[in-house]
Amino acid sequence: MNNLTNNTFNMKTIHVIFACVAFLVTGYVQAQTNVTVTGNVIDENRQPLGGVTVLVGKPPRALGTTDENGNFRFTVPANAPLVFRIIGYQQASQNTGSGRTNLRVQMAPDASALEEVVIRGYQKRSKELSTGSSFSLTAKDLPDVPTANIESLLQGRVPGMNIQLNTGAPGFRGSTQIRGLSTVSMTGSGDQSFLQPTSPLYVIDGIPMDADRATEYGFQQQGPGMSPLSLIPQEDIASIEILKDAQATSLYGSMAAYGVIIITTKRGNSPIPRVRYTHNSFVRTPPKLRETLGGNLERQLKLQQIYGNALDYFDIWRISQTGFLSDSLNAYWNNSTNWQDYYYRSRYNQSHNLHIDGGDQLFNYKANLGYFTDQGIIENTGFTRYNANLRMEYQPADRRFQIIGAAFAQMGKQSIGDGVGMLQTGIAENGLSSTLLPPPSFYQAGGSHSSALSTDNDNATRLIRSNLEANYMFIEGLRASTSLSYEFESKTEDTFTPAVANNQFARVYSYNGRTTQLYNRNSLNYSTSLNDSHNLFINFFNEFRIAGRQSSVSRQERSPNDQLQGPIGFDGYYSRGGGLLDDYTDERSASFAFAASYDFQKKYVVDLSYRLDGSSANGFENLYARNPAIGLRWNFDKEAFFENSEWLDYGALRMSWGVNIIPTGTLERIYGRFDITGNYNGQQGIGLDFDQIPNPDLKPKTNTQYNLGLDFSLFNGKIEVIYDTYYKKVENELFEQLLPNTTGFNKLFSNGAGIANYGHELFLMMRPLPLSSDFSLSFSLTGAYNKDVLLTLPEHYGGQFIRWEFDQNEHLQHVILRVGGSTLANYLRINDGVFPTDADVPVDPVTGLRYQTNGVAFAGGDPMLRDLNGDYILDGNDYRRTGNSQPLFTGGASIMLTYKNFNFNLNGSITGKRTILNNALAQRLGLMGNPFGNRAVVPLNDVDMWRQAGDVATYPYAYDYRRYGYIQPFRFDQNLWAEDGSYFKINNIVIGYMFDRDWISRWGLANLRVYVSGENLHTFSRYSGPNPENVTNMGRDVSSGYPVPRTYNLGLSVEF
């Protein structure tokens, strides 16, 4: 009882009272007998608190720290008072009197969250002195939800970081953007067009890592394409810090232009070795699939459609030519096959994680062994991860010298069937087959179906990374450190397509790639203080990196049979491969950075930093990219007028400016590409490749960012606010200009595009309940408003550029860039509804003809597509800029509620105001276009569709198949499909129970916690498609790709 009420006391009172209590209760001073004290430290939410330093005696002497579950076990002199300290919490103390050897300590948060540590330029700095904008999360902020990709757990948690889980494919990552749009480069087309990924730089335990590695070449890349982030188990993560503004990121250089995410893995921290085992058993279920009319219903509907819309006897005659419409007694046509059922399924998965650690500050070690599997809700896909992460630290007692070693061994195995991973469009296509067709069997050796199910695909990414870090303090304040890391990643993909799936000839495909990175960082930093008022910190470091990549592909066609899966016996004429792919890289880079920080009484802080980045990939004109930054901070709570303030815990105002330069001028773009072209006069000729014109004046891309922030906390941490506003300017964006053929070249890479992003970010945390309550509640809200504006385009475009799309699916959903507007808008036909009757179709007063398209006049039930140019003909001119594919608002909400041993955690995320093109609905309605075809039919009762003359409807008549090809009522390039993609998603809910320690100790357990959790539970949205998040970053619905599953999990964490 005491320790609960004590929490409300200030530190001094605690000291006094404990001293008294200790004295009174014990009554006598025991002789120097030692007792073993065990105990458990919990935080204000009754969550175990690890890393708490336990001290004993007077003056206090450190014994060690609590482990990850807040447990400790020390041998101390009897009756000695124990003191518990950890940054961010008020000091607590307990006495070991009267044989109390099992203690329970609850720590109260220190109002000043500013004593947290942040990492800047690989150096730990007090958050109180940081001028940049950043956001931190610790392991306990991450919900207990099994996931392959830790990014998904951050969704909605960090203001300004927009994470969209736009694929449910296991092992792949969604899209992550910090502070809006940073590029206008797009690749791919149609559904599969997407923005060049601009992911933040990930720094894992001090080693930078490129998270876009896998997706650099788009969805259709070769090789496994596994996200390197998928290889990090969430159980091994200690903290995550997200750096947002240029002051924070500029020290990380060019790669950090899109933000930095610093992940720190756990380290050993338990005097007695401890073993923790975490297990999750989870079921992933596919979302609601498309409703389909099966069997005879399908036949009846198709016949009705033909009878109702036939124009002449030919249609009726055609029924007799179409087996599955007329020959219903034929067993071959008399089926009701649920095709989707063959592809989508619920799957049971598990994960196991064993975490062993031990040691103290002198020497500690950690090992994390994990297994995670996610078999994927689409048949023949899946992801499995094995990891072994090891780490040790040695620091002699004088703390002058420290050495840290770590090794990570990770392996991800993946199967993508015959798809391309992130998108499994082949599956969706097969799922649309007519239900009247017989189910798959050996007899029905259908190509695409067999291909989807029997293609044997095996991807593996194996990653080994070792880090070694040492630092030494020469004199007080001057510390040198060096860090070395080598990473080797091997990527293989083996695909065997059996004969049945490939026109009766088996095929063997093999990809083999590797990437390596040798990384070295040396730094020298010095901190000094003058009169305790003037504090100076100087940090100088350099980084060297050698990155290599090499991959090759071979494809053997027509191997002898399905049993012999290579490598001998194939048709050499059709087979290909063996050479290097053009992603070959051998890059050297060197960087030099200098940072200085000065503060006056921790009240006024000035940060200056400058970094030079040089890379062998840059041209000589811009060999070094220069990244300067300035930051200012005013801790106004330390001013005299707040000195006696009871309500203000801390308050600070931050301002920063910084620049990140990203070289885009590869050697090829600057100097051109030269090919061996043939002979001239007996000499080998080497000529310029005419695809692109070399541009020696190419400038590097420049990100300039201004940030203004305000942090404060009120009423002892009951309200905590972080507010930032920023202006980010991207200039000299690389722009691929297509050239007229008279130039002799196809394209020119030039600068000239620019984007501005500006917005506001708010983090609000409330802990409304008093600490004395049995309940503890913390409620946090994050919100970010970001608006992007296209600033410039290359001059000769005159302010507008249209990226035309002519993909094989005829989606024709073009993208338009117009200066002054939101950067990425759609260029579509404008739909004004449906013509209720024929008489509503306008007539050209000059020609007397009705409004028409493809030579056919519109009629009642046809889409009212606006004739923008006024010529009474719908053609390629009738397009208009509409919508904005980027969300204006992103954010989330999180509730953490604890009652005694129960805890409840809910996280939600919000995305607001973006345009989504509902291609799923377009496709669904378009299924009715050909009743003679072998596609399924869907019920349309729920669709507000025109059915008879006079109906005022949203969607045009779907059954008029004779005019379908001309009118194309469900053409994708109309804004009928443009919907508001705002949603609120319940990302996850966790309900956990921690067993009483006394009760479980009889089984020798130190800790036992069980929990149930669910992920992706519900999405509230007005969007009429399947999932407003399952869209590309250009806002196209890709639910035909890999749908995002729902997860139900039962988990257990036990500690010995």
Partner 1 sequence: MRRYNITRSINTPRGAMHHIALIGALLCAICLGGCEKALDLPEEKEFISENINYGSKLLEPIIGRTNLMGQFNSDNSSLPLTFEIVNARYGDGRPVTDLFEVRPTYVWIDAYDGEEASLEEIEAKRRLEDRPLFEVRESGQFILWASTTNELIGPRPTDSSNLVQDIRHFDLKVSNSGGEVYLADFQLVPWRERPYFPYNDINPYTGEPAPDPIDPRNPNKQDYIRPRLSGVVGANSNNFLVSNNERKDVVVYIRPFEGGNGHNLRFKFMANDSTFINPDEFNETNWNELVHGFNTEKTEEYVQYDVAYPIPLVNIQTPYTNGGSASVNIEYSRRGFGGGLIYASFGLDFNIYRPGDWEIVFHFKNELPKFEDE
Question: How many residues are there in the chain?
Answer: 1056
Beta-carbon contacts of 398 under 8 Å, excluding residues fewer than 6 positions away, are none
Q: What are phi and psi of 696, to 5 degrees?
A: -70, -15
Closest approach of partner 1 to the CB of residue 880, in Å: 7
Work out how close the CB of 818 gets to partner 1 at its nearest, in angstroms, rounded to a whole number: 6
State the minimum distance, in angstroms, from the CB of residue 26 to partner 1: 24
Minimum CB distance to partner 1, residue 472 (Å): 44
Distance between CA atoms of residues 673 and 693, nearest Å? 9
Return the closest-CA partner of residue 623 out of 615, 632, 631. Answer: 615
Strands 852-853 and 873-874 turn out to be parallel
Min dist CB 877 to partner 1, Å, is: 6
Beta-carbon count within 10 A of 743 CB: 11
CB of residue 827 to partner 1, shortest distance in Å? 8
Q: How far is the CB of 873 from partner 1 (least distance, A)?
A: 9
Per-residue b or e along 747-782, where b marks 16 or more CB atoms closer than 10 Å to that residue's CB = ebbbbbbbbbbbbbbbbbbbbebebeeeebbbebbb
Instruction: Output 12 or 1002, the one with its CB closest to partner 1.
Output: 12
- Residue 544 in contact with residue 522, Cβ under 8 Å? no
Q: Which is closer to partner 1, CB of 92 or CB of 994? A: 92
Q: C-alpha 778: how far from its chain's center?
A: 25
For residue 768, which phi and psi values (nearest 5 degrees)? Answer: -75, -25
**For the CA atoms of 394, 398, 400, 404, what is the dihedral angle to 10 degrees?**
10
Residue 36 or 645 with smaller CB distance to partner 1: 645
- Burial (CB count within 10 angstroms: exposed 0-12, middle 13-18, buried 19+), residue 1029: buried
Contact assessment for residue 410 and residue 387, using Cβ atoms and an 8 Å cutoff: yes
Give Cα 496 distance to the centre of its chain. Answer: 31
Task: Assess contact for 1015 and 148: CB atoms under 8 A.
Answer: no
DSSP secondary structure string, 420-437? -SS--HHHHHHTTB-TTS
Residue 400: Cβ within 10 Å count: 14
Tell me, what amino acid is at 721?
A: V
User: Could you give the maximum distance between any two Cα atoms of the chain, in Å?
Assistant: 113
Residue 160 or 376: the one with the smaller Cβ distance to partner 1 is 160
CA 723 vs. chain centroid, Å, equals 23
CB closer to partner 1 out of 59 and 820:
820
Report, in Å, the least distance between residue 100 CB and partner 1: 24
Least distance from C-beta 268 to partner 1, angstroms?
38
> Rounded distance, CA 29 to CA 514, Å?
67
Nearest-angstrom CA–CA distance, 764 and 778: 10
d(CA 46, CA 1010): 15
**β 201-204/260-265 pair status:** parallel
Distance of CA 240 to the CA centre of its chain: 14
CB atoms inside a 10 Å sphere around CB 306 = 20
Note if the bond before 567 is cis, omega within 30 degrees: yes
Nearer to partner 1, 715 or 995 (CB): 715
Cα–Cα nearest to 500, from 462, 545, 453? 453
Residue 439 CB, nearest distance to partner 1 (Å)? 47
Minimum distance from residue 643 beta carbon to partner 1 (Å): 9
241 vs 878, beta carbon nearer partner 1: 878
In the complex with partner 1, which residue's Cβ is closer, 445 or 843?
843
CA distances from 955 to 469, 833, 834, 922, 959 (A): 64, 7, 7, 10, 12
Between 230 and 885, name the residue whose CB sits nearer to partner 1. 885
Given the complex with partner 1, which of 72 and 726 has the nearer CB atom?
Answer: 726
Spacing of C-alpha 490 from chain mean position: 23
Cβ-based nearer residue to partner 1, 18 or 333 = 18
For residues 678 and 845, which CB has a smaller minimum distance to partner 1 in the complex? 845
- Residue entry with tokens 């059922």: 341
Please state the closest distance from residue 783 (CB atom) to partner 1, in A.
13
- Provide the minimum distance between the beta carbon of 259 and partner 1 in the complex, in angstroms, as a whole number: 21
78 φ, ψ to 5°?
A: -60, 145
Cβ distance to partner 1 smaller for residue 687 or 768 = 768
Q: Which is nearer to partner 1, 838 or 951 (CB)?
A: 838
Q: How far is the CB of 112 from partner 1 (least distance, A)?
A: 16
Beta strand segments in 861-947, E: 863-865, 873-874, 880-882, 889-899, 902-912, 915-917
Q: Closer to partner 1 by CB, 575 or 725: give it.
A: 725
Shortest Cβ distance from residue 267 to partner 1 (Å)? 36
Of 817 and 937, the one with the shorter C-beta distance to partner 1 is 817
Closest-CA residue to 47 (of 136, 130, 109): 109
Residue 484 C-beta: closest distance to partner 1, Å? 44
Least separation in angstroms between residue 312's CB and partner 1 is 15
Binding site for partner 1 (CB under 8 A): 5, 8-10, 636, 641-642, 644-648, 651, 653, 708, 710, 714-716, 718, 723, 725, 727, 756, 758, 760, 770, 789-792, 798-800, 802, 818-821, 838-839, 841, 843-850, 857, 868-872, 877-881
Q: Which of 990, 1040, 992 is nearest to 1015 (CA)?
A: 990
Q: Which is nearer to partner 1, 582 or 646 (CB)?
A: 646
**Number of other residues whose CB lies within 10 A of the CB of residue 697:** 11
Closest approach, Cβ 113 to partner 1, in A, equals: 17
- C-beta closer to partner 1: residue 274 or 814: 814
